[in-house]
Structure 1
Amino acid sequence: MTSFADAIEQRFGDGGPAGRSADTALIGRVLSRKTVRRYSDVMPDEGLLDLLVAAALSASAKSDFQQASILRVVDPAARAAIGTLFPAMPWIGVSPVLYVFLGDARRLQRIGELRDKPVRNGTLEGFFNAAVDAALALQTMILCAEDAGLGVCPISVLRNEVDKVAAILGLPDLVFPVAGLCLGYPQGPGYVSLRLPRRVTTHLDRYDDSRLAEEVDDYDRRRDARHSIPPDQHRSNAEFGKAAFYGWSEDKARQAAKAEGAAFPPYLRRHGFTLD
C-alpha cells in the first residue's frame, strides 16, 4: 500500500507536512481516493448496496433531525431521461448504479404537523441543515464504496436542470437534489486530482489569504505539468479570449463567471422554501 507520505505528495505536492504512520488504513485510502467515470458491466451485489445506504444514513446529522434522503434511480426510462439532460457526462446514464442524495426538509415539517407543532422548515436554516445532512451522507457513501472496491463520481450538475430532474424523480415540495452519485466497479484506473496547497486551505488562529496569488500560480504550474487541460476543453474563448497560459485557476474563474445553477433558487422558492 502507498505510504501516507507518498499519498500526501501525490495529492498535494506542496512540500508540506508528510504526516506520520498510524494504525489505520482508512486514512491512506482517503488520501489516495480517485474519481472514476468508467465502469465495468458488473452490477454490485444488492446486499452490498444495502450496506452502503445504511452506512450513508449513519453519517452525522444536525440536531438528530435526519434530513437526508437517498433515492436510487433504477427505472431505465428515468435513467435515460436524466442522462439525456447531460450529454457531456455519459456516465450519468450508463453507470451500474445511480443514487440521488436529497435534502429533505419536508419530513421534519410533516412531523411537526403530525405532532401539532408549528414547524416551518422552509427557512434558510432548514435548507442549510438539510443540504449539509445530505452532503455528509453522500461523502460517507463515497468513502465506504471505495473501501469496498467500488469507484464513484459525484454529480452536482443535476441542480443545473433541477426542474426536469425533480419532475423525473417526483420530488415534492421541500425536497431537493443535492447531488447524484454514479457507482460501480472501475473499468480502469481513475486519477488522483491534485489539490490546492494546504498553505491556501488551512489556517491557524485567523484566516489569512495574503499569499493567495503566488500560491495559486505555483499550483497552476504544478497541476498543468501533471495533467494539463486540453485546448479543446478551454472555456469561453469567444468571450474571454485565448489565455497565454490556461491553468486550473483560469478554468475555474471562467466556469464560475457563467453562474451555474441559476434555476436552483427559483426552484426552491416555488417548492416551499422562503429562505428567510
Structure 2
Amino acid sequence: MANGADRLRARFGIELPDAEAPDAIAQYLDRRVVRRYREEPAPDSLLHGLLAAAQSAPSKSDLQQYSIVVMRDRARIKQIADWIGTMDWIATAPVFLVWCGDMRRGQCLCALHEMPHANNNLDTFLNTAVDCALAMGQFMAAADAVGLGTCPISYVRSHIERVCPLLGLPAGVYPVAGLTVGWPVFRRPISMRLPPSVVVHRERYDDSKLETEIAAYDERRRGREPVAPGSLKNNDVYAPREGVGWSENLARQLSVPERFGFAAYLKTRGFDLA
C-alpha cells in the first residue's frame, strides 16, 4: 500500500520533503475523478448520509445559500448528457446531483419576517457559489471515503436555459455544477497537479518564477500524461498538433470566450450582480 510520501510523489511528480502526509491526509491525495460506473445504484440510505455530510460543510454566516437536486431518472439524466453532447458517460451514472446557488430562500425568509432583502448583489451571488462549492467538495470527499466515484460537471451552466426548466429552478436559484455519482468500474490514474511552489504563497503573492516553474511542470506532465489528441482545446481555432503541453492547452481554452451569456441569463433569473 502506498504511503504518504508515495502519494505526494504521485500527485505532484516531484519529491516534497517538507510535506507530511499521514493516512488521514494521504486519502485526499489519492482522490481522482470517476467517469465509468457500474449499474448497481448507491443505496438511498447511503446517499442520504452523504448529503447530510455535505450539509455539514462550512457556510458563510450560516446562511446556507445552496440547494441540491437529486436525479435518479435515467431519461432525465440522459437529457442533460445529450445537451452537453461530448460526455455521453454522464448518462451511465446512477445518480446525478445538481448543486445550485440559492438566493431565493433568503428572500423568502425576509418576506416571512416582513423585512426587505437588501443584498441582491454580486457578493451574495459569490457567497451562494462558494457555499455550494464547499458542500459539493465535502460530499465528494465523503463519497470517496466509502468507495463511490464522482465527477463534477461545469457544463450544466453551458445549457442553463434548458437545465433550469428541467429542474424547476425558480428565480434566484441557478446551477453551479452537476456531479455524477456511482460505484466505479475502474479507478483512473490521478492527475498531476501544479507544484505547491506555484499555488501556495507565503505572506505575499509572488509569481516571479512562474515561467520556469510551468516549463518544468509541462515537461513532467508530458512524460506521464501527455495531452491526448482528443483533449486538445479549440481545434477549430488553432491547428491541432503534437506535443502541446498542459499550459498551452490551457491557453487554447482560455483564449476563446465560454458561456458568454451567463451573466445576462442570471439577470433574467433575478440576480442583480451589482
Q: TM-score, normalized by length of structure 1? A: 0.95
Residue 8 (structure 2) aligns with: 8
Q: Counterparts of 1:129 and 1:123 in 2: how far apart (Å)?
A: 10
Residue 78 (structure 1) aligns with: 76
Deviation at 1:239, TM superposition (A): 2.4
Alignment of 1:168-179 (within 5 A): 168-179=166-177
What is the letter of the counterpart of residue 197 of structure 1?
P
Deviation at 1:215, TM superposition (A): 0.7
Is the 1:60–1:133 contact (alpha carbons within 8 Å) kept by the matching residues of 2?
A: yes
Q: TM-score, normalized by length of structure 2? A: 0.95
Residue 96 (structure 1) aligns with: 94
Deviation at 1:235, TM superposition (A): 2.6
Q: Counterparts of 2:263 and 2:215 in 1: how far apart (Å)?
A: 33
Alignment of 1:146-157 (within 5 A): 146-157=144-155
162, 165, 183: which is aligned to 1:164? 162
Residue 24 (structure 2) aligns with: 26
Alignment of 1:44-193 (within 5 A): 44-193=42-191
Unaligned 5+ runs, structure 1:
none
227, 252, 267: which is aligned to 2:265? 267
What is the letter of the counterpart of residue 178 of structure 1?
V
What is the letter of the counterpart of residue 12 of structure 1?
F
What is the letter of the counterpart of residue 186 of structure 1?
P
Name the SS for the 2:69 alignment partner.
strand
Residue 236 (structure 1) aligns with: 234
- How large is the Cα RMSD of the aligned pairs? 1.5
Deviation at 1:94, TM superposition (A): 1.8
Q: Which moved more, 1:1-10 or 1:95-104?
A: 1-10
What is the letter of the counterpart of residue 115 of structure 1?
H
Q: Counterparts of 1:221 and 1:138 in 2: how far apart (Å)?
A: 32
Is the 2:120–2:271 contact (alpha carbons within 8 Å) kept by the matching residues of 1?
A: yes
What is the letter of the counterpart of residue 4 of structure 2?
F
Is the 1:152–1:184 contact (alpha carbons within 8 Å) kept by the matching residues of 2?
A: yes
1:199-240, Cα deviation, whole Å (9 max, x unpaired): 100111100001111111111110111111122432334423
Deviation at 1:189, TM superposition (A): 1.6
What is the letter of the counterpart of residue 13 of structure 1?
G
Is the 1:57–1:137 contact (alpha carbons within 8 Å) kept by the matching residues of 2?
A: yes
**CA distance 1:206–1:49, shift in 2 (3 Å):** same
1:10-67, Cα deviation, whole Å (9 max, x unpaired): 1112333352354xx3311101111110011111111100000000011000000011
Equivalenced residue count is 274
Q: Counterparts of 1:97 and 1:68 in 2: how far apart (Å)?
A: 19
Is the 1:73–1:79 contact (alpha carbons within 8 Å) kept by the matching residues of 2?
A: yes
Unaligned 5+ runs, structure 2:
none
239, 244, 247: which is aligned to 1:246? 244
1:152-196, Cα deviation, whole Å (9 max, x unpaired): 101111111111111111111110111111011100122211000
Q: Counterparts of 1:21 and 1:193 in 2: how far apart (Å)?
A: 18
Q: Which moved more, 1:58-67 or 1:223-232?
A: 223-232
Is the 2:36–2:92 contact (alpha carbons within 8 Å) kept by the matching residues of 1?
A: no
Q: Counterparts of 2:24 and 2:37 in 1: how far apart (Å)?
A: 23
Residue 206 (structure 1) aligns with: 204
Q: Counterparts of 2:215 and 2:140 in 1: how far apart (Å)?
A: 30
Is the 1:9–1:18 contact (alpha carbons within 8 Å) kept by the matching residues of 2?
A: no
Name the SS for the 1:214 alignment partner.
helix
Is the 1:121–1:127 contact (alpha carbons within 8 Å) kept by the matching residues of 2?
A: no
**CA distance 1:270–1:201, shift in 2 (3 Å):** same
Deviation at 1:116, TM superposition (A): 0.9
